[in-house]
Chains A and B, each alone.
Chain A
Amino acid sequence: MHPVEIKKDVFWVGAVDYTSRDFHGYSLSPQGTTYNTYLVKDEKTVLFDTVKSNFIDTMLCRMSNVTELEKVDYIVCNHLEPDHSGCLPKLVELCKPEKIFCSPLGKRSMQAHYNTEGWPIEVVKTGDSINIGSRDIQFIETRMLHWPDSMVSYIPQDKLLICNDIFGQNISTTERFVDEVERAVVEHDMVEYYHNIVLPFSPLVLKTLEAIEEMGIEIDMLAPDHGLIFRGKEDVQWCFDKYREFAEQAWKKRAVIIYDTMWHSTEKMARSVAEGLESEGVPVRIMSLKSDHHSAVMTELGRSSAVIFGSPTHNNGILPEVAKMLTYMKGLRPQNRIGGAFGSFGWSGECVKALTESLTEMGFEMPVDGVKNQFVPTHDAYKKCYEMGAEIAKALKEKCGE
């Protein structure tokens, strides 16, 4: 297993996970993922983060092509989630590092995950810096991007920011750099990653981008812990601009309809709602929760400012897949969204009320009343759904400044 030299004496020694589709138990990673570990050879040899524990052999093999393991002096833990820290116990045993650097909350996380007795942990805070020979490493805490322990490491001599999970993407390939892959693929994977992991912390993303600008640090390489590396100032700026766009959540003229159905009545209603949106020139994607995973829906939400939910009434409530979707979406705290609700029912008909309450609680604006229909929709019911779609489209276009 060969390492990849990403800058002079800076090596990627991570692992590519081609087969995993389950990302951390809550999201799908349809393209697999990578666990990026970086090794810097200077007067001190420094390793930044590790890989998921089942890939330790791959990482050790790559590392061994750059250095003898016992020559690793420092380990920097930018983030303690197990896919980046999972090899720590073994590495501490094999490398016997002189120091392990982490943030104050990183130490807490480290102690909560591993038996750290005897580990040479050294806590660093924003503004702290260490010298490793011809290079310095500056630490910047990025709490809640996306865990309390998260921090980034900046090497000014290399203009390199090793940025843990921020700016990552789930992708598995032998290419290591963004400029080697089709841009639309990279952007899609960034949208997917951001809207399933980083979205709740959007206000912090904006603050961090501002802070980077104010600090005036020069960055010509962004090396995240997952996915491809941004090489060159132009691509670094492209990445920052994308993150600003994701975080600002500006209004987009696009809608997504999310539904589940029992005897296809709610499904038929979904198509009429879509027709209504389309009639007003708003593109829409219909997503069935039996076909689309909740993380795929969030990716779509990254492109859509109108979010319309459909569920039949079932046992005086909504269907479990829809409830699951709402729970997942609520936690990710989307902002600037218009909502809508519809569904069929047999006799009691609580579905639209339940959906409306959930979406209102998430802060969605609900420009029109929901549509519910008893049993099988008739032409009249389709018309109501169509009109609801058209009204939501008009409200969205107004938000978009049309």
Chain B
Amino acid sequence: MEKYVCVICGYEYDPAEGDPDNGVEPGTKFEDIPEDWLCPVCGAPKSEFEPA
């Protein structure tokens, strides 16, 4: 599964880890994250992410 990077702050979303603090289980593909999910570091929307 592909990792994605927030272009605003550099946070890397790793599907293996997910973002459990914000309700995204480990093993969730970036594409499957809800559209209203925000970067846990800077709050940027999903549209600000690019493949790592």
Listed in ascending order, the chain A residues whose CB lies under 8 Å from chain B are 105, 141, 143-144, 148, 201, 203-204, 363
- Pair count A-B, CB < 8 A: 18
- 16 new A-B contacts, CB < 8 A, other than A143-B10, A144-B8, are A105-B8, A141-B10, A143-B8, A143-B9, A143-B42, A144-B9, A144-B10, A144-B41, A144-B42, A148-B8, A148-B9, A148-B42, A201-B41, A203-B41, A204-B41, A363-B21
Q: Which chain A residue lies CB-closest to B21?
A: A363
A interface SS class: mixed
B interface SS class: loop
How many chain B residues touch the partner (CB < 8 A)? 6
Q: Which chain A residue lies CB-closest to B40?
A: A203
B6-52 CB contacts (< 8 Å) to partner A: 8-10, 21, 41-42
Can you give 18 contacting A-B residue pairs, CB < 8 Å?
A105-B8, A141-B10, A143-B8, A143-B9, A143-B10, A143-B42, A144-B8, A144-B9, A144-B10, A144-B41, A144-B42, A148-B8, A148-B9, A148-B42, A201-B41, A203-B41, A204-B41, A363-B21
Most B CB atoms within 10 A — which of A105, A144, A201?
A144
Q: Which chain B residues border A105 with CB–CB below 8 Å?
A: 8
A365 CB to nearest B CB, Å: 15
Q: Which chain A residues border B42 with CB–CB below 8 Å?
A: 143-144, 148
A166 CB to nearest B CB, Å: 15
Q: Which chain B residues border A143 with CB–CB below 8 Å?
A: 8-10, 42
A384 CB to nearest B CB, Å: 33
CB-CB nearest 10 A-B residue pairs: A144-B9, A143-B10, A143-B9, A148-B8, A144-B42, A148-B9, A144-B41, A148-B42, A204-B41, A105-B8
Q: Which chain A residues border B9 with CB–CB below 8 Å?
A: 143-144, 148
Q: Which chain A residue lies CB-closest to B39?
A: A144
Q: Which chain B residues border A144 with CB–CB below 8 Å?
A: 8-10, 41-42
B43 CB to nearest A CB, Å: 9
A152–B5 CA distance with the chains assembled, in angstroms: 21
A204–B6 CA distance with the chains assembled, in angstroms: 14
Q: Which chain A residues border B8 with CB–CB below 8 Å?
A: 105, 143-144, 148
